[in-house]
Chains A and B, each alone.
Chain A
Amino acid sequence: MYEFTYQKASSLDEAKEAYGASDEAKYMSGGMTLLPTLKQRLARPSHVIDLGGVNDMSGVVIENDKVTILARTPHAQVASNIELQRVLPALAKLAGGIGDPMVRNRGTIGGSTANSDPAADYPASIVGLGATVHTDRRQISGDDFFLDLFETALEEGEIITKVTYPIPDRAGYMKFPNPASRYCIVGVMVSQRGTTVRVGVTGAGACAFRVPEMEEKLACEFSPNAVADIKVPAEDLNEDIHASAEYRAHLVTVMAKRAVAEAIS
């Protein structure tokens, strides 16, 4: 790691002030992405501002029709929340399938969302459940949040404070994990809320995206068969040593079918 100055902020204001006062600062939440990046010398921030000391930034709150997850909530806490397992089991399952238990003890929803890793799990839920990302300055609709590979709608120094999810009538999440890292080769979150159906895909493209054609078909008939013949075009999909673009396109359909099957089971 290159040298940097570490600062633990005790409030959002302090974090923002520290950010503004340095040349090239990085916020740190769980550090499960940032620290490996620094260790590989892929980034060279002058300051690392730890959000770990900010109070009231961790927890799962369930109200009548929505679930709120504060930005610093570790994946393990989301996965093991008993009430969440009851009202939105697909989201608890998603969090419980991220990485491994040690990663889940540290990694957080805020860090994962801000990072927009093409293979991360949470982005599928933000798009597929129609979440809203709340920051220190505004609310951003989940549909407008992910822009590209590691690129989001966040502005310089903007901090995610929480993510809110409307509770769907039913939802299912299915991922095809990379057997070594557990990151998604493809992951699909499907949800139905009244007449609205959402299909959110991660792992396949530069960032999470919806599949309108599948959503239309599922709105008429919410069954795995409804999406069986819909294939997303392979152009523009990710290609690496683990899976070709063509294979990822195929997996989107398979995972979508399985996610629907889970939602109705």
Chain B
Amino acid sequence: MTVKFSITVNGKPVEGETEDRTLLVQYLREDMRLTGTHVGCDTSQCGCCTVHIDGKPVKSCTILCAQVDGCEITTIEGLAKDGELHPMQNAFRENHALQCGFCTPGMVMSAIGIVDRHKDESLDEKTVRHELEGNICRCTGYHNIVKAILAASVTMNKNA
């Protein structure tokens, strides 16, 4: 069986049709060729596949395409505007928050969620570390990722 759906991906409307069992991440990567969203574990643990659905971080390996009919999806490819990196992407670059880069797209999407959830307060290291629970990095030891998120929270809140 197949299902039809209409979604918005990075601001562009998409009318699609796929198998009932197709996962969102599969559709993004295989049909739309948006391969910035990674699959690290496929068991809902690692967070590499994190995208935003209606502004909230979700693991795209654990949601069906059929479920997101009518939703707005943002992937890592949708963050930079007019050739300018998103402040979170910039902070990752400036703070050397990646090594192999495999976890990075999911980390960045998740990190923006952390800053969004704590708009009205200043973010501390403990909160960032706790809220990164759903993202696994095998290279960095997290230290610089945490630094980058704290740095970006300052610039993002200034711009808001």
Query: Measuring CB to CB, which residues of chain A are less than 8 angstroms from any residue of chain B?
Result: 1-6, 8, 28, 31-32, 35-36, 38-40, 48, 50, 52, 76, 80, 99-103, 105-106, 180-182
Judging by beta carbons under 8 Å apart, are A100 and B62 in contact?
no
5 nearest A-B pairs in the assembled complex, by CB-CB distance? A100-B134, A6-B20, A100-B133, A6-B66, A1-B21
In the complex, residue of chain A having the shortest beta-carbon distance to the beta carbon of B131? A101
Judging by beta carbons under 8 Å apart, are B57 and A102 in contact?
yes
Prevailing SS type, chain A contact patch: mixed
Judging by beta carbons under 8 Å apart, are B21 and A6 in contact?
yes
- Select B21's contact among A3, A8, A99, beta carbons within 8 Å: A3
Candidate in B44, B50, B113, B131 with the most chain A CB atoms within 10 angstroms: B44
- Select B110's contact among A31, A38, A101, beta carbons within 8 Å: A101
Judging by beta carbons under 8 Å apart, are B66 and A50 in contact?
yes
Q: In the complex, A38→B21 CA distance in Å?
A: 10
Judging by beta carbons under 8 Å apart, are A31 and B63 in contact?
yes
Mask, B15-31, CB within 8 Å of A = 1, is: 00001110100000000
Interface residue B42 (Cβ < 8 Å from any Cβ of A): yes
Residues on B with C-beta less than 8 A from A76 are 56
Query: Measuring CB to CB, which residues of chain B are less than 8 angstroms from any residue of chain A?
Result: 1, 3, 19-21, 23, 42-45, 47, 50, 56-59, 62-64, 66-67, 69, 110, 113-114, 117, 131, 133-135
Residues on B with C-beta less than 8 A from A28 are 67
- Select A99's contact among B3, B58, B117, B134, beta carbons within 8 Å: B134
Judging by beta carbons under 8 Å apart, are A36 and B21 in contact?
no
Q: In the complex, A8→B67 CA distance in Å?
A: 8
Q: In the complex, A40→B41 CA distance in Å?
A: 12
Q: In the complex, A106→B68 CA distance in Å?
A: 12
Q: How far is the CB of A122 from chain B (nearest CB, A)?
A: 18
- Select A6's contact among B3, B43, B135, beta carbons within 8 Å: B3
Judging by beta carbons under 8 Å apart, are B66 and A106 in contact?
no
Residues on A with C-beta less than 8 A from B114 are 101
Q: How far is the CB of A106 from chain B (nearest CB, A)?
A: 6
Residues on B with C-beta less than 8 A from A101 are 57, 110, 113-114, 117, 131, 133-134
Q: How far is the CB of B119 from chain A (nearest CB, A)?
A: 12
Residues on B with C-beta less than 8 A from A103 are 44, 59, 134
Q: How far is the CB of B96 from chain A (nearest CB, A)?
A: 24
Judging by beta carbons under 8 Å apart, are B58 and A102 in contact?
yes
Q: How far is the CB of B70 from chain A (nearest CB, A)?
A: 10
- Select B58's contact among A36, A52, A105, beta carbons within 8 Å: A105
- Select A102's contact among B1, B3, B134, beta carbons within 8 Å: B134
Q: In the complex, A67→B43 CA distance in Å?
A: 33
Q: In the complex, A48→B56 CA distance in Å?
A: 24
In the complex, residue of chain A having the shortest beta-carbon distance to the beta carbon of B50? A102
Judging by beta carbons under 8 Å apart, are B44 and A36 in contact?
yes
Judging by beta carbons under 8 Å apart, are B64 and A31 in contact?
yes
Residues on A with C-beta less than 8 A from B62 are 31-32, 35-36, 106
Residues on A with C-beta less than 8 A from B64 are 6, 31, 35, 48
Residues on B with C-beta less than 8 A from A100 are 47, 131, 133-135
